[in-house]
Structure 1
Amino acid sequence: MLNSRDLAILDVLQRDSDTPLADVGAKVHLSPSACSRRIAHLREAGYIRRNVAVIDRAKVGLPTTVFVTVSVRTHSAAWTEQFRQAVAGIPEIMEVYRLTGNIDYLLRIVLPSVDDYDRVYKALVSRIEMNVVCASIVMETVKSAESLPLHHAAAS
């Protein structure tokens, strides 16, 4: 169970995992050694899965985002596994969500340009049968957050 200090540590680290241990400790009112032990425990318990660098997509030539909705006719286990393999094999597909309602799946695709979407679309439809595929091109990102709203997490 997480306590308020654990949540505070997670909040600091999710905003900048490179924050020096002494600074994390100071922000949560712990000594660096006590803070280090808590961070190790949070890793072991699976609260911290991994550390990553957030890369500026535009600077590396991947400024375009396309959201794709997919509706399917079948929901068999075999089709679902084939779909999972199909999307896993296309690196431009960053996220895939299974949804309730009229849309079965939502895909977030990151690309160099809109023109590149056709290549990804063709790769996807050649691997799996889908009923309806609709694409929406992102014109502007209004909000994008990597940090979770930890104030909703229960502290003991």
Structure 2
Amino acid sequence: MSELDPIDRSILRLLAADASLSLNDIAEKVGLTATPCWKRIKRMEEAGIIKGRVAVLDADKLGLPVSVFVSVETSDHSASWLGKFHEAVQNTPEIVGAWRMSGDVDYLLHVVVPDIAAYDSFYRKLIEMVPLRNVSSRFAMERMKEGALPI
């Protein structure tokens, strides 16, 4: 896809802030009519820039107030192990984010659970699914910022 112009970036900022905006609202805010605005959005979807549109949910109000950042180290970097780990990450709903890292930690997981007992259950399940060398958990005390990409 060619470089994003200022109108594309404005559309992306609007969608990132509120994906429920109507096409007409977005078009009006960026100074276009609906059809060219729709074409830009469609082009960015097809290019994979817009991967989807989601609702941002309140974890506390849904009974999932505990956020844990889990550092995972492994001594096995084989394709077989990676396949098992990838499957475990994809099939574990408590894991809401996962990254392969550089440095002394191999993977970083963002886990949400209702309480410490549920985290303990998650942890036991994780270490049964794949062999791990070291797991370190850090419990979030306060969410200070959550937002859109700086477009």
Structure 1 CA distance, aligned partners of 2:12 and 2:91?
32
- Show the 5 A alignment for 1:42-61: 42-61=44-63
Q: Deviations over 1:38-68 (max 9, x none)?
A: 2222222222121111111111111110111
Q: Distance in 2 between matches of 1:85 and 1:113?
A: 24
Q: How many residues align?
A: 149
User: How much does 1:74 deviate?
Assistant: 1.6
Residue in 2 that maps onto 1:34: 36
Alpha-carbon deviations, 1:46-101, whole Å to 9, x = none?
A: 22121111111111111110111111112111111111112222110111111111
Which TM-score applies when normalising by structure 1?
A: 0.90
How large is the Cα RMSD of the aligned pairs? 1.2
Superimposed CA distance per residue, residues 104-145 of structure 1 (whole angstroms, 9 cap, x where no aligned partner): 111110001122111000100011111111111111111111
For the residue of structure 2 that corresponds to 1:94, the secondary structure is strand
Matched, 1:123 2:131: no
State the AA in 1 paired with 2:149: L
Q: Which residues of structure 2 form unaligned runs of 5+?
A: none
Give distance in 2, aligned partners of 1:84 and 1:39. Answer: 31
Structure 1 position 19, deviation (Å)? 1.2
Pick which of 28-37 and 69-78 moved more. Answer: 28-37
Q: Secondary structure at the match of 2:64?
A: coil
CA distance in 2, matches of 1:136, 1:23: 41
Amino acid at match of 1:139: M
Q: What amino acid maps onto 1:148 in structure 2?
A: L
Identity of aligned residues (%): 39
Per chain length, whose mean CA-contact separation is higher, i.e. which structure has more relative contact order (CA < 8 Å, sep 6+)? 1
1:83 to 82, 85, 94: 85
Q: Which residue of 1 aligns with 2:149?
A: 148
**Distance of 1:46 and 1:72 partners within structure 2:** 32
Partner letter of residue 53 of structure 2?
Answer: N
TM-score between both structures, scaled by the size of structure 2: 0.93
Query: What code does the residue aligned with 2:21 have?
Result: T
Q: Which amino acid aligns with 2:116?
A: V
Question: Could you report, residue by residue, the CA deviation over 1:4-48 in whole angstroms, capped at 9, with x for unpaired residues?
Answer: 111111111111111122221121111122212222222222221
> In the alignment, is residue 104 of structure 1 matched against residue 106 of structure 2?
yes
Quote the residue 1:92 is aligned against: 94
